Structure 1
Amino acid sequence: MVNIAVSTLGLSYSAPEGPGMLTTAKYKDVSWDFRKSDTKEYTHCFHNYPAMMIPQVVRKLLERYGVHDGWLLDPYCGTGTSLVEASIFGMNAVGCDINPLVRLIATAKTTPVSLDKLDGHIEVLQDKLTRFRLDRNGLPSTNIPHILNMDYWFSNDVAKQLSMIREHILSVKDAVARNFLWVAFSETVRECSYTKNGEFKLVRMAPDKLESHNPDVFGTFRGKLARNRDGLAAYIKRRQDVNVLVTDANTANDETPRPPKSFDLVITSPPYGDSPTTVAYGQFSRLSAEWIGLPNPRKVDRLSMGGTRKDGYLPDSPVSPAIEEIRIADRKRARQVELFYFDLRQSIRTVTSVTSDEATVCYVVGNRRVKGVTLPTDEFVAFTFGELGFSHEETVVRNIPNKRMPSVNSPSNVTGKTDTTMREESIVVCQRRE
């Protein structure tokens, strides 16, 4: 394979010659950083989550490539940032994710609801919490759910208070209102647990912090409800009359979500890499998912890309030299990386099978490091779409000032060995050739 050196605006990289060759500039544009922008507008305020794509990036892509009344696909929708923005813009949208907690959040963020009815449910619950707080006899008895290692992650008082809220939410028959309440509850669970602040993996706070840890569970929950209710009200005013569907379809396994017609636009931010050494979405979600009673809360990371597949051959591509360099240091780690890109390639193939003849795809990706080796994911994405009949339009590099990311991670998968995480990400834009 012949490599062609490309240099634009001070950035240099190698682009493979062939069907996926990068044909236009890769350049850095600080206008995509949105450093001072409010990333918590509308229902984007609902729930913290690791490495969330900020709404301003999606909004700008929709302004450039959106199709009013058309269909948008996000095969890794997470908590639904792209779905919220699509519904405000006026596009129907389908989002896919294997994580049941984020599907619940994305559904709650994009579902129109009668605010009067929702306020009624909130008022009933608020009154009940007030009575509990004022009752001098203490909290009434309640059924505390079975959570593995409950005592390790929650104090007894916190578990009782969470159980009171949980029992009430379970009694709410209106599914839309119940989902809204679950989202506030989910974030309350995490914030009131012994989980270390600022972590997206399950890490217990330091022993000296445990003794002083006395969260106001009811107060925290009330705050989440009020914030989310305001965000929902603002969203409903802007939401267009479109359809939004959230599904568990796994495009890496050739599971294909199909709208009434083909997708006109794809906007997504796939995982940076395998969960154990990048962003452990399953660990972040697990406690909340167990409290809510969602299925398979401990399997999310294992089901993520590169997590379950044992076989699969990755053809020569822009990441091949990097994988071979990793293989010299650690064959097992190189194989894990290879399987991640195999799954990403399979997912892209599935996505192209449901896009229209004039579709645009926008992938927001990061070039992560493993064993000190940088993996050119942006080139891999452009190359793979090129193999499947798309032309590469541009790759815009932006700084990451807003995403919830750790300052270091463990790309070598060895305890104690860390590396700095990505400070930049690339927005890869490809369009189907005529």
Structure 2
Amino acid sequence: MMIPQVARRILREFRPEGRCEILLDPYMGSGTSLVEASLCGMSSVGTDLNPLARFISKVKTTRYDAMAIEREFRNIQNGLLFYSDEAVRERDFGRISNREFWYSYDVLLRLSYLSQLIRDNSADNIDFFNLALSEVVREASYTRNGEFKRFRMDKKRIATYNPDVFKMFEEKVRRNIIGLVEYKKAVTNDDVRIYGFDSTLPIPDDAVAKESVDIVLTSPPYGDSRTTVAYGQFSRWSNEWFSFEHARNLDTLLMGGGKNVSELDTKTISSELQQIKDIDCRRYCEVVSFLNDYKASIINVADTVRTGGMVCYVVGNRNVKGVQIPLDYFTAEMFEQCGFEHVTTVVRSIPNKRMPSKTSPTNIAGKKVDTMNNEYIVVMRKLN
């Protein structure tokens, strides 16, 4: 995800001249850019195909009544004192795929009891508490921390793993209440609109009118979800818990999932694509499929930006079969084809990203290449 400090600095340093009232994030993720827009007095529009991302963004940008939250939280905490297996009403976990592989039955019961207490003790604020629960659903599972794909703990670790589900939930709610209070004090514009449209398709005018956006601030995927960071995998626990749509097939819906392998017209990365094609044609097709979708998205996003408006894309240059793909060059090239000029590209080292620093391009033991250690903030201005 984009960190707030980066979004804040971009909005400060690359605001367009004249009007700066509307921000668009076509890959909003957890809503960082939307929050930062609200803090600096801008309206914002965000979209994401991941229902969990939309849920997180909605809660983060809502000005809840903190006193009501505190009152309902105390009621939920009181309910935790009376937990027993028999008190859990909902015991059907069929919606959770491979549930015995990822969870102990005791953890599932405790998660279900939390859901029960949230429903019983919260009305208008149910989403606020479910957001904290969504984190616990993932962290209380047998997943290994720090991985770029979903992996299970080893048997030795599982044997001693006994997460305090209720304590985890309470800590996250307390943290979120602090964040809510700080947000309400600082926000100057709460006009935030959240959608689930696909930016690789024409953007609906009733969501974002053409040439209405002053600045686009986003961090798009660096490649298709299946072969880079497994976005759908990390969302799956929570998407399944809340029965959100597309919980099990999200990765196939994201960019590159549709296998659009039509020929790609590009000067900036043509040699890199040819190198990948010479090494592995299947991987070449996967890369081209993603880039075709990415290009389509850029064309649609470009249509929403006013003359003089800015776009700021935070991208990473991934390695495929030992070949680095300069997505920053490709991003600038595609926007230039849409009537933009390149202003600058800021290089930033990645201090903490859910991505291995080295990976194997050949699956040969011991043969490693560097992955993404830098992010590139590509800044463009629309000329016409």
Q: Which residue does the alignment assign to 2:184?
A: 236
Counterpart secondary structure, 1:131: coil
Q: Which residue does the alignment assign to 1:367?
A: 317
Tell me if the contact between 1:319 and 1:380 (Cα under 8 Å) persists in the aligned partners.
yes
Structure 2 unaligned regions, length at least 5:
none
Residue 237 of structure 2: which of 284, 287, 292 is its match? Answer: 287
- CA-CA distance at 1:253 after TM superposition: 2.3
Q: Does 1:184 align with 2:132?
A: yes
Q: Which residue does the alignment assign to 1:36?
A: none
CA distance in 1, matches of 2:140, 2:345: 41
Q: Does 1:165 align with 2:114?
A: yes
Residue 313 of structure 1: which of 263, 277, 297 is its match? Answer: 263
Greater Cα shift, 195-204 or 94-103: 195-204
Q: Does 1:214 align with 2:162?
A: yes
RMSD: 2.0
Tell me if the contact between 1:411 and 1:418 (Cα under 8 Å) persists in the aligned partners.
yes
- CA-CA distance at 1:320 after TM superposition: 1.5
Counterpart secondary structure, 2:342: strand
Residue 298 to residue 415, structure 1, CA distance change in 2 (3 Å): farther
Q: Does 1:73 align with 2:24?
A: yes
Residue 112 of structure 1: which of 49, 55, 63 is its match? Answer: 63
CA distance in 2, matches of 1:411, 1:295: 33
Counterpart secondary structure, 1:265: strand
Q: Which residue does the alignment assign to 1:142?
A: 89
Q: How many pairs are equivalent?
A: 377
Tell me if the contact between 1:96 and 1:249 (Cα under 8 Å) persists in the aligned partners.
yes
CA distance in 2, matches of 1:269, 1:295: 23
Residue 49 of structure 2: which of 78, 84, 98 is its match? Answer: 98
Tell me if the contact between 2:359 and 2:369 (Cα under 8 Å) persists in the aligned partners.
yes
**Residue type matched to 1:217 in 2?**
V
CA distance in 1, matches of 2:121, 2:200: 36
Q: How do 1:21-420 and structure 2 match up within 5 A?
A: 52-66=1-15, 70-132=21-83, 139-144=86-91, 145-146=93-94, 147-171=96-120, 174-175=123-124, 177-256=125-204, 257-258=207-208, 262-409=212-359, 414=363, 419-420=369-370
Residue 275 to residue 223, structure 1, CA distance change in 2 (3 Å): same
CA distance in 2, matches of 1:200, 1:309: 23
Q: What is the TM-score when the length of structure 1 is the normalising length?
A: 0.83
Tell me if the contact between 1:277 and 1:409 (Cα under 8 Å) persists in the aligned partners.
no
Residue 409 to residue 102, structure 1, CA distance change in 2 (3 Å): farther
Deviations 1:140-196 (A, max 9, x none): 243123212111111111111001012233446635x12111111011011111111
CA distance in 2, matches of 1:290, 1:415: 35
Tell me if the contact between 2:210 and 2:305 (Cα under 8 Å) persists in the aligned partners.
no
**Residue type matched to 2:32 in 1?**
T
- CA-CA distance at 1:200 after TM superposition: 4.1
Counterpart secondary structure, 2:197: coil
Q: What is the TM-score when the length of structure 2 is the normalising length?
A: 0.93
- CA-CA distance at 1:202 after TM superposition: 1.8
**Residue type matched to 1:156 in 2?**
Y
**Residue type matched to 1:223 in 2?**
E
Counterpart secondary structure, 1:194: coil
